[in-house]
Amino acid sequence: MAVWGLSPPRRTVDRTAPEEHARMDITYPIIIAAAKSWFRLGGMTIDFEGWENIPSEGGAVMATNHNSYLDFIVSGYPGVKKKRYTRFMAKKEVFDHKVGGPLMRSFHHLAVDRANGAEAFQVAVDALKAGEIVGVYPEATISRSFLIKDIKSGAVRMAVEAGVPIIPVAHFGMHRVQTKGHARDLSRGKTLVIRVGEPFVPEGTDVAADTAELKRRMSDLLEECIAAYPADQKPAGAWWVPASHGGSAPSLEEAERLDAEEKKSRAERKAAKAAAKAAAAKG
């Protein structure tokens, strides 16, 4: 078990630039300290194993499960023990915001254009080749079942292209604070369990098989997290416990149906808004 401590700023080199230049991480340590204080004040217990699987240097794809709105905190946690900072991919519009933009740039996160998948992919690959740890959520959206749902192949393809390993990570507990479909709960005494798996290098000859292997590893780690979660914090019928473990969370199949309904509803609202805008323009 480990506690997230404050690390000194780390100087990194961006090898994708025409000339090497050093950059200093200043904001990251501040946020780490803030998170550490939040955990302490909130009486949160951190059960963390596998940090030794984070490489001390060199690029790697960190593939983490996605079950809460606060997963960026959990995903940034593992690398800190090795004084590594994880760079996350975010849509470029966030970087254009007058407040969020400077903050995101201070973290050296990666601005990507969702409308240009090839460009976004290359941004991540360049960062990996420059020796960064790039954080991704292969499930793409929050899992309502709190189990690993179908994952995308992007993590595998990035690792193959950059010639770096994938580090599978799973966590359980942060969704009790804030997740989709449930009110925020900042009450004290929760537990967060994190498990970091051994790095593996995908063969690259069969992306589907490599992606299936990544899902298997993430699922096994998540099962370890759930098994390690305190019994008194996962009572029968609890909404934050997967149905397969005696909770009342939706099954994977039910969660998929809910996601499809939400996607359809969102598309209908978007179409209605566009139609109203077009009608107003004509009028």
Domains and CATH numbers, the chain: 11-250 (3.40.1130)
Backbone CA torsion sign across 17, 22, 23, 25:
positive
Comparing C-alpha atoms, which of 217, 192, 242, 256 is closest to residue 63? 217
Taking only the tens place, the pLDDT of each residue in 214-260 is 999 999 999 999 999 999 999 999 999 999 999 999 999 999 999 99
Given a contact cutoff of 8 angstroms between Cβ atoms, the answer to whether 61 and 214 are in contact is no
pLDDT tens digits for 71-129? Answer: 888 888 888 888 888 888 776 776 777 766 776 667 677 777 666 678 788 888 999 99
pLDDT of residue 23: 54
Residue 15 clears pLDDT 60, i.e. is over it: no
Q: 62-74 in b/e burial notation, b at 16+ Cβ within 10 A?
A: bbbbbbbebbbbb
> 224: closest CA among 283, 146, 170, 167?
170
Do 100 and 51 contact (CB within 8 A), yes or no?
Answer: no
Quote the CA–CA distance of 20 and 16 in Å, as a whole number.
Answer: 8
Q: Residue 196 above 90 pLDDT?
A: yes
**pLDDT for 100:** 65
Looking at residue 90, its pLDDT comes to 73
Mean pLDDT rounded to a whole number for the chain: 85
Provide the whole-model pTM.
0.83
The residue type found at 137 is Y
**What pLDDT, on the 0 to 100 scale, is given for residue 3?**
34
Q: Please report the pLDDT score of residue 1 as a whole number.
A: 38
Separation between Cα atoms, residue 132 and residue 174, nearest integer Å: 25
pLDDT band at 5, cuts 50/70/90?
very low
Lowest mean pLDDT among 13-27, 39-53, 100-114: 13-27
High-pLDDT (> 90) share of the chain, %: 57
